[in-house]
Amino acid sequence: MVTTTSSWKTTKSEEIFTAAQKLMPGGVSSPVRAFKSVGGQPIVFDQVKGAYIWDVDGNQYIDYVGTWGPAICGHAHPEVIVALHDALGKGTSFGAPSALENVLAQKVIDAVPSIEMVRFVNSGTEACMGVLRLMRAFTGRDKIIKFEGCYHGHADMFLVKAGSGVATLGLPDSPGVPKSTTRDTLTAPYNDIEAVKALFKDNPDTIAGVILEPVVGNSGFIPPDTGFLEGLREITKEYGALLMFDEVMTGFRIAYGGAQEKFGVTPDLTTLGKVIGGGLPVGAYGGREDIMSMVAPAGPMYQAGTLSGNPLAMTAGIETLKLLEKPGTYEQLDKITKKLTDGLLQVAKETGQTVSTGQISAMFGMFFTGETVHNYEDAKKSDLTKFQSFHRGMLERGIYLAPSQFEAGFTSLAHTEEDIDRTLAAAKEVMSSL
């Protein structure tokens, strides 16, 4: 039964968010939460559980953001919560080695093909900052290649204006980022292996490596074209550069071993986050032992963090991976998500809408376009106004989608067939009204 829009009140959300805007820039702790690209006021949450969220006005939503990835087992999974309660009794942070770090490190190393040794940090941004410094330290080279539309956290060197054309010398995307910091960041269109080859040809022996989302979630959902990842593996080997998969979003979501397991392409280094923290702040970078051995104090490359590896975050991560490693997990995630994206295609057809959808395991996306989306430029050409109206209509019917076309959607082990049916019923109403 779809929630009727008339019963949907957001009075308390509006009051709280109005006050928030006087206290915090934009009223949020992270920009995408402000609903800037979909309009209207953001929803203020009060509680999350399983596949659902409740706002401060008591409205319930089926959640397809899942706090941007960590909630893959469902929000507040009882086994995670119980384990956290037990861990809390022993304190929240040691600032010293704990056995729990060994446990999570072993699970990550056992799961992720490229990772022989791992360092825990507190966010995906920190993981990407650390791994970039490591890539430069190991190769003695300064330049990196990233792809337009890929996001690797908010560290200066990644905030690069994704310029047009094949090879773009980085121009800062944000004030406060000096050109000197981004001049070594080269960009190319995603899925364009020829553009990468041209960059290497034009910058022989000066490129430390290539950094990418092996399945893009930060331009909307964009999977790699056949041969793209394999091509990057070859070209980086050819030029003595490193290949780094940013699996902060795809890690333990696309498969238990991440996109690198799914696609059978093993990078030299990998970043992780989100899922491995089970909802608490954790990031990580890891890879070949000969490279990781450069990280202080084993080697000279410095990186540190007060709360890195803290027992609470380790506990939440360990319990989450224990749930995910059970047989049948990824078949279930794939099945429920495919039901959603197949259903959205069907609903679009019935209502005369033109959409393209994509899905791998518990990650999906939809664009209002009839074209296949291969890169950020394609994504930007989709009907963003229609996405805005769709987002609002779904929100009013109790379906919480990412408040930006340039984000991916996430399902979890908690999403049921009934949830998907309800979502598709709401989508049919909304698409009929667009």
Kindly list the residues in this chain that would bind ligand KE4 in the complex (CB under 6 A). Answer: 30, 32, 68, 123-125, 128, 151-153, 213, 217-218, 246, 248-249, 273, 283, 407
Instruction: Say whether 151 is catalytic.
Output: yes
Alpha helices in 46-123 (DSSP H): 78-88, 99-111
User: Which of 55, 63, 246, 419 is flagged as catalytic?
Assistant: 246
Question: Contact at 8 Å (CB) between 213 and 365?
Answer: no
Question: Contact at 8 Å (CB) between 71 and 279?
Answer: yes
Residue 154 CB-density burial (10 A; 0-12 exposed, 13-18 middle, 19+ buried): middle
* Residue nearer to ligand KE4 on the CB measure, 32 or 169: 32
**What does the CA dihedral 7, 12, 18, 20 come to, rounded to 10 degrees?**
-130
* Residue nearer to ligand KE4 on the CB measure, 213 or 396: 213
SS3 19: helix
CB of 99 to ligand KE4, least distance (A): 25
Give the integer Cα–Cα distance in Å for 128 and 411.
Answer: 25
Q: Tokens 């376009």 map to which residue? A: 369
CB of 278 to ligand KE4, least distance (A): 13
* Residue nearer to ligand KE4 on the CB measure, 303 or 351: 303
* Residue nearer to ligand KE4 on the CB measure, 249 or 344: 249
* Residue nearer to ligand KE4 on the CB measure, 218 or 266: 218
Q: Name all contacts of 354-357 with Cβ < 8 Å and 24+ positions apart.
A: none
CB of 150 to ligand KE4, least distance (A): 7
Instruction: Say whether 173 is catalytic.
Output: no
Q: Please state at what angle helix 311-324 crosses helix 99-111, rounded to 10 degrees.
A: 30
- Pick the closest to residue 127 from 287, 236, 257 (CA basis): 287
The residue whose Cβ lies closest to ligand KE4 is 124
CB of 89 to ligand KE4, least distance (A): 27
User: Which of 146, 274, 386, 428 is flagged as catalytic?
Assistant: 274
CB of 31 to ligand KE4, least distance (A): 7
Residue 380, CA distances (Å) to 167, 340, 387, 393 in order: 19, 23, 12, 21
Catalytic residues, which ones? Answer: 151, 246, 274
